[in-house]
Amino acid sequence: MRPQLQEMALSLLPSPEESASRPELRHFYQMLRDYPERGGKGLRSELLLLSARAHGLQEGGPGWERALWLAAALELFQNWVLIHDDIVDDSDERRGKPALHKLHGVSLALNAGDALHAYMWAAVHRAGLDAGMDEFLNMIHRTAEGQHLDVSWVEHGEWDLQPQDYLEMVRLKTGYYTIVTPLRLGALAADQTPHPDFGAAGLSLGAAFQIRDDVLNLTGDPAKYGKEIGGDLLEGKRTLVALHWLGAASETRRQTFLEQMRLARTEKDLAVIAELLDWLRESDSLTYAHEVATQEAERGLTLLRGALNTAPDQAAAGELLGLMDTLIRRDA
Amino acid sequence: MRPQLQEMALSLLPSPEESASRPELRHFYQMLRDYPERGGKGLRSELLLLSARAHGLQEGGPGWERALWLAAALELFQNWVLIHDDIVDDSDERRGKPALHKLHGVSLALNAGDALHAYMWAAVHRAGLDAGMDEFLNMIHRTAEGQHLDVSWVEHGEWDLQPQDYLEMVRLKTGYYTIVTPLRLGALAADQTPHPDFGAAGLSLGAAFQIRDDVLNLTGDPAKYGKEIGGDLLEGKRTLVALHWLGAASETRRQTFLEQMRLARTEKDLAVIAELLDWLRESDSLTYAHEVATQEAERGLTLLRGALNTAPDQAAAGELLGLMDTLIRRDA
């Protein structure tokens, strides 16, 4: 992430020095700053700023600060969502350090995520763009719908799902906040009406992005990937690879898989999980997932190229398409 | 709560009919509407509307809708906070029905609380009052600070606390959202500058309100109170009564108390909890808590009376003081 954006996000939060009177409150302020201080790649904020430039905004020129505040708000969104997601998934790590609830317990982490959520709206407000409120509201609503699908399948032990169900879930859970909303906010920051194809383009590209992420979770280089390889299996996540594999697996293997998925994370047999990982890796389901990701990516890129065809700054539009291309081909 | 406010809050939320395509999403929308549909007393929204009238706004007149949207936002605030608080306290019931996470699990309830939080901001935005954003941000920040104190004492088994620590915690956790912010928002809705004494007045009245609530939790009439009598002991809450009692109890009783408080809710011995309840009820700590509540209430009412002395609508100001008086003397 750009250091400038991180500084802007952090400038909204109280600093631990502000309340020397109570050590508990200093601790609270440190918790609020923890995830934002860990940084992150800043892909979504970069995409927003590229979209703003493609729509005619000049870096450092009039309106640029508006785009920066929206970008900072997007980073704060990701931070509070990750705090709560890490609780729900009971993740061990985040960006190479223990997850917030592992450091301070679920209750305090939940509360810190709520406060950080409020500061996200402060950043949106700082941008001073009325339409920004609606964009963020829609993004949160869609992302929460996706999260609801994902989590309710886990809670209800639902594995009777088709690839189409998976695609619908990831479009909601990942597509809006990763691609659609950054593209639209960039246009709005530049006082332009977002192209209607940003929706369909972003949802396809978001799905491609998430499928690659799921594949990396099975096959990635641990040193590069930054999350636990096989973590999705431990968390019992529905992925395109797993759903496809289940459709073709032998009844014995299928039962072994479902048996492990019925168990809580801590109850799972790590030797069996390693075996499942091998089965998935050796299957043609990886190839299938790659193909779907490629189709979604090509569909999305074609739509996006068309939508940016008449954008005022074609050089920035080219950069944006380049970033998108890297994003969906990434190996980490 | 006024039916009109409930309707306004619900009108912002998606209706289950909106997404006939997926049963999971209908389920999500029902979860969002559940707590708002359960209603509630609407004390805080009523206080806000009385403050708006006292500051010169006429019911149904110009600017009234602005006050209504802020009041609806305040009710939505309480709803999302209660969803998350019920998770943290592992409460069984809310307003006579099972708590949301008891019905749908922690993960889905956490997610629904997050989405409802976003809809609270939509209501704030709908009011169209720039200063409203800052008020809500400050309210959430202070309430989260209070929650952090309360929860961190529970998490760290901290009982070495003075009445002053308790008062600081409840001012933050209860005082802002129950009294200070409603009073200020009413003034702002009427285009008036909130009186500087609303802060100190509201924090005293908020503390009085919470101390009465803690006492009712020990001695209330179960039929009227609506929450479990003795629930605070089961949840290991720090209350003024408990802290005062600990300061005077015999070493044996003190150890029995602390031993139970170290246990998780489900591990507590209900017979011993019933005994603790008797000890607290028979002690002079109830009298002490009543006295502190009365002092705080009188201090707050005096400040508030002074602050409303020059308010344009003295009849409404009188009603407001009357509501406040009932609130801090309530027996349910």
Instruction: Write the DSSP assignment of B152-199 as a string of letters.
Output: HHHHTT-----HHHHHHHHIIIIIIIIIIHHHHHHHHHTT-PPPTHHH
| Distance (Å, whole) CA B209 – CA B243 | 18
**pLDDT of amino acid B159:** 95
| Distance (Å, whole) CA B45 – CA B5 | 8
| Distance (Å, whole) CA B130 – CA B116 | 21
Q: What is the distance in angstroms between the Cα of A243 and the nearest Cα belonging to chain B?
A: 18
- A133 closest CB neighbour out of B81, B125, B136: B125
| Distance (Å, whole) CA B21 – CA B24 | 9
CB-CB contact of B68 with B8 (8 Å)? yes
Q: Considering only residues A148 and A231, tell me which one the structure prediction assigns the higher pLDDT.
A: A148
Q: A106: which chain B residues are within 8 Å (Cβ-Cβ)?
A: 88
List A94's β-bridge partners, or say none. Answer: A97
Give one DSSP letter per residue of A181-213, joined into a string: HHHHHHHHHTT-PPPTHHHHHHHHHHHHHHHHH
Tell me the one-letter amino acid at A237.
Answer: K
Q: Is A98 helix (H, G, I), strand (E, B) or coil?
A: strand
Alpha-carbon distances of B104 from A81, A150, B20, B87, B120, rounded to whole Å: 20, 14, 20, 11, 22
Low-confidence residues of chain B, pLDDT below 50?
none
Q: Is A19 helix (H, G, I), strand (E, B) or coil?
A: helix
Tell me the one-letter amino acid at A230.
Answer: G
**pLDDT of amino acid A319:** 97
Q: Find the largest Cα–Cα distance for chain B.
A: 64
Q: Considering only alpha carbons, which residue of chain A is nearest residue B90? A: A107
- Quick check: A77 contacting B, CB < 8 Å? no
CA dihedral A129→A131→A134→A135, nearest 10 degrees, is -90
Closest listed residue to residue B64, CA positions, set B10, B56, B314 = B56
CB-CB contact of B304 with B226 (8 Å)? no
Q: What is the distance in angstroms between the Cα of A198 and the nearest Cα belonging to chain B?
A: 22
**pLDDT of amino acid B264:** 86
| Distance (Å, whole) CA A316 – CA A36 | 27
The neighbour count for residue B247, using CB atoms within 10 Å, is 13
In chain A, the percentage of residues whose pLDDT exceeds 70 is 97
**pLDDT of amino acid A217:** 87
Answer yes or no: is pLDDT of A222 > 90. Answer: no
Q: What is the distance in angstroms between the Cα of A231 and the nearest Cα belonging to chain B?
A: 18
CB-CB contact of A92 with A228 (8 Å)? yes
Q: What is the pLDDT of residues A31-72, one digit of tens each?
A: 999 999 998 889 999 999 999 999 999 999 999 999 999 999
Answer yes or no: is pLDDT of A228 > 90. Answer: no
- B105 closest CB neighbour out of A105, A112, A155: A155
CB contact under 8 A, A27 and B148: yes
**pLDDT of amino acid B95:** 92
Instruction: For residue A85, give every residue at least 6 positions away whose Cβ sits within 8 Å of its Cβ, in sequence order, or none.
Output: A91, A147
- Quick check: A110 contacting B, CB < 8 Å? yes
| Distance (Å, whole) CA B146 – CA B152 | 10
**pLDDT of amino acid A67:** 98
CB-CB contact of A83 with A112 (8 Å)? yes
| Distance (Å, whole) CA B41 – CA B72 | 13
The alpha-helical segments, DSSP class H, found in A39-196 are 43-54, 64-89, 100-104, 106-127, 130-155, 163-170, 181-189
Q: Considering only alpha carbons, which residue of chain B is nearest residue A89? A: B107
The neighbour count for residue B251, using CB atoms within 10 Å, is 7
C-alpha angle A23/A27/A32, rounded to 5°?
150
| Distance (Å, whole) CA A279 – CA A315 | 45
What topology does CATH give the domain B3-329? Farnesyl Diphosphate Synthase (1.10.600)
| Distance (Å, whole) CA A39 – CA A42 | 8
- Quick check: B108 contacting A, CB < 8 Å? yes
- A24 closest CB neighbour out of B118, B133, B149: B149
Sign of the CA dihedral with A29 first, then B71, B82, and A88 last: negative
Q: Is B98 helix (H, G, I), strand (E, B) or coil?
A: strand
Closest listed residue to residue A327, CA positions, set A291, A286, A296, A289 = A296
Disruptive mutation site among B145, B149, B176, B237 for chain A (greatest number of A CBs within 10 Å): B145
Q: What is the distance in angstroms between the Cα of A36 and the nearest Cα belonging to chain B?
A: 17
Q: A87: which chain B residues are within 8 Å (Cβ-Cβ)?
A: 110
Alpha-carbon distances of A284 from A163, A259, A288, A291, A314, rounded to whole Å: 15, 22, 6, 11, 40
CB contact under 8 A, A112 and B144: yes
| Distance (Å, whole) CA B110 – CA A229 | 27
CB contact under 8 A, B25 and A87: no
- Quick check: A16 contacting B, CB < 8 Å? no
Helix axes B314-329, B43-54, angle to 10 degrees: 160
- At A9, list the tokens: 């996000």
- B25 closest CB neighbour out of A28, A108, A145: A145
Q: Considering only alpha carbons, which residue of chain B is nearest residue A81? A: B114
CB contact under 8 A, A136 and B145: no
- Quick check: B131 contacting A, CB < 8 Å? no
CB-CB contact of A112 with A28 (8 Å)? yes
Q: A105: which chain B residues are within 8 Å (Cβ-Cβ)?
A: 155
CB pairs under 8 A between A and B: 122
Q: What is the distance in angstroms between the Cα of A309 and the nearest Cα belonging to chain B?
A: 34
Q: What is the distance in angstroms between the Cα of A22 and the nearest Cα belonging to chain B?
A: 9
Give φ, ψ of B41 to 5 degrees: -70, -30
| Distance (Å, whole) CA B280 – CA B278 | 5
- Quick check: B157 contacting A, CB < 8 Å? no
**pLDDT of amino acid A332:** 54
CB-CB contact of A141 with B28 (8 Å)? no
Disruptive mutation site among B83, B107, B139, B167 for chain A (greatest number of A CBs within 10 Å): B107
- At B62, list the tokens: 């110009």
C-alpha angle B281/B284/B289, rounded to 5°?
85
**pLDDT of amino acid B245:** 95
- A114 closest CB neighbour out of B84, B121, B137: B84
Alpha-carbon distances of B127 from B131, B183, B212, B225, rounded to whole Å: 10, 16, 33, 33
